[in-house]
Structure 1
Amino acid sequence: MSDLFPPFEPERETRRARFKAIPFRLIAPNLVTLLALCLGLTAMRLVVDGRLETATICILVAAALDGVDGRLARLLKGTSRFGAELDSLSDFLNFGVATGYVLWIFNLHQLKSFGWIVVLTLACAMALRLARFNVMIDDPDRPEWQKNFFVGMPAPAGAITAMLPLYLHFIGVPVQEYGAPFVGLYILFIAFLTISRIPCYAGKTLGTRVPRDKVLPIFVAVVVVAGLLFAYPFEMLALVVVAYLGLLPLSVARYRQLEREHAVKLPETVPAPAERPPEPA
Structure 2
Amino acid sequence: MSEERPRIGPKAAEDEVPLTPRGSGPRGLAMRAVVPNAITAAAMCSGLTGIRFAMSERWEEAVFAVILAGVLDAMDGRVARLLKAQSRFGAELDSLADSLSFGTAPALILFLWSLDDVTRFGWFAALAFAICGALRLARFNAQIDVSEQPHKSAGFLTGVPAPVGAGLAFLPIYIWLATGDETFRDPRLVAPWTGLVAFLMISNLATLSWGKMRPRPDVRLGLIALVGMVFAALLLEPWWTLTGICLVYLATVPWSIARYARIRRQRASVPAT
The TM-score range, normalised by the shorter chain, is 0.7 to 0.9
**Deviation at 1:256?**
1.4
Partner residue of 1:56?
Answer: 63
Partner residue of 2:221?
Answer: 216
Residues 113 and 185 in structure 2, CA contact (< 8 A), matched pair in contact too: no
**Deviation at 1:43?**
0.9
* Secondary structure in 1 matching 2:157: strand
**1:25-62 residue CA offsets vs partner (Å, 9 max, x unmatched):** 42322111111001011111111122111011000111
Partner residue of 2:79?
Answer: 72
Residues 66 and 106 in structure 2, CA contact (< 8 A), matched pair in contact too: yes
**Deviation at 1:195?**
1.0
Partner residue of 1:151?
Answer: 158
Q: TM-score, normalised by structure 2?
A: 0.83
Partner residue of 1:257?
Answer: 262
**Deviation at 1:258?**
1.9
Report the more deviating stretch, 232-241 or 23-32.
23-32
**Alignment partners' CA distance in 1, 2:267 and 2:84:** 30
Q: TM-score, normalised by structure 1?
A: 0.81
Does residue 37 in structure 1 map to residue 44 in structure 2?
yes
- Which structure would you say has the larger RCO, counting Cα contacts within 8 Å and 6 or more residues apart? 2
**Deviation at 1:85?**
1.1
**Deviation at 1:210?**
6.1
Residues 151 and 157 in structure 2, CA contact (< 8 A), matched pair in contact too: no
Residues 51 and 105 in structure 2, CA contact (< 8 A), matched pair in contact too: yes
Query: Cα gap change, 1:89/1:260 in structure 2, threshold over 3 Å: closer, same or farther?
Result: same
Partner residue of 1:170?
Answer: 177
**1:147-191 residue CA offsets vs partner (Å, 9 max, x unmatched):** 632211110010000001110111124246762101101101111
Residues 121 and 191 in structure 1, CA contact (< 8 A), matched pair in contact too: yes
Report % sequence identity.
Answer: 37
**Deviation at 1:21?**
6.4
**1:181-209 residue CA offsets vs partner (Å, 9 max, x unmatched):** 011011011111111111111222336x7
Larger Rg: 1
**Alignment partners' CA distance in 2, 1:28 and 1:216:** 33
Partner residue of 1:200?
Answer: 207
Paired letter, 2:203:
S
**Alignment partners' CA distance in 1, 2:255 and 2:220:** 25
**Deviation at 1:96?**
1.1
Gaps (5+ residues) in structure 2? Answer: 1-25
**Alignment partners' CA distance in 1, 2:47 and 2:73:** 11
Determine which of 197, 218, 241 is the counterpart of 1:190: 197
Partner residue of 1:27?
Answer: 34
**Alignment partners' CA distance in 2, 1:266 and 1:74:** 38
Paired letter, 1:111:
V
**Alignment partners' CA distance in 2, 1:177 and 1:255:** 34
* Matched positions, count: 248
**Alignment partners' CA distance in 1, 2:220 and 2:59:** 38
